[in-house]
A = this chain, B = another copy of it.
Amino acid sequence: MRDAVKLIKVKEDIQADNDLLAQRLRERLREQKTFLINLMSSPGAGKTSLLLQTTGLMKDDFRLAVIEADIDSSVDAERIAESGTTAIQLQTDGFCHLDVAMVQQGLDSLDGNELDLIFIENVGNLVCPAEFDTGAALDVMILSVPEGDDKPLKYPLMFSKCHALIVNKIDYLETSLTDFDMSLLEKRVRKINKGLKIFSLSSRTGEGVKTWTDWLSKKVHEHNS
């Protein structure tokens, strides 16, 4: 396992540098009253659809923008921009997560001083993004019902580092196609992260989205006041 050891060592150095930069970015954004939120999930859990619903409900109250990260496409930023919200696409060129340097590139393309709220849509991946602080004030994970209620057992770091968990695609619970058990999920989540705030919603139908945006609006007001 020589190679693995070498990789871990470099990762530790990079993470230490990144943590320091993340802390500085967080302080700077607090001073300038801009709230940065980092959305993470598996591929296909519904990050972009949730962003469309969320920005739709919040854009009258806040000056907002979206930083989209993808390995090699700009379809998500195009969808957001079509809805009338400013969107920047970061192409990570193979990279499996965002770090502060990449987020900073996104922020540099936006006029941050004029914004109250910036969403980051991280690369679709439950592993690597959990290891890299982006400098966001709030880390949020989206889990979709079809992925199953066993994910806290398998990706504990992601569940442990987030401030909120959004269970998306709850309309799938009404079919007989899944045996997803919401109370079992909560039990598994609580073992890892006792204080994690949990929301259940459907980006497709809009059910439950307002409870989430009301909570987020309050967080933004607290941070920016």
Spell out A's residues near B (CB within 8 Å). 1-4, 6-7, 10-11, 14, 17-18, 42-44, 70-73, 75, 94-96, 99, 101-102, 123-128, 131, 144, 146-148, 150-151, 153-157, 169, 171-172, 175, 177, 204
Contact = CB atoms under 8 A, between A and B. Distances in A.
A125 B126 contact: yes
Q: How many monomers of this protein are in the complex?
A: 2
Contact of A144 (B7, B96, B146): B146
Nearest to A2: B101
Contacts of A177: 169, 171-172, 175, 204
B172 A71 contact: no
A72 B73 CA distance: 31
Given A3-B99, A10-B6, A99-B4, A44 B148 contact: yes
Nearest to A76: B154
Contact of A155 (B1, B43, B101): B43
A72 B159 CA distance: 13
A73 B146 contact: no
Contact of A3 (B2, B4, B17, B146): B17
A148 B47 CA distance: 12
Nearest to A149: B44
Contacts of A144: 44, 146
Given A7-B14, A123-B127, 17 more contacts: A3-B17, A7-B10, A10-B10, A42-B42, A43-B147, A44-B144, A44-B146, A71-B156, A72-B154, A96-B127, A124-B126, A125-B125, A125-B127, A127-B128, A144-B146, A171-B177, A177-B204
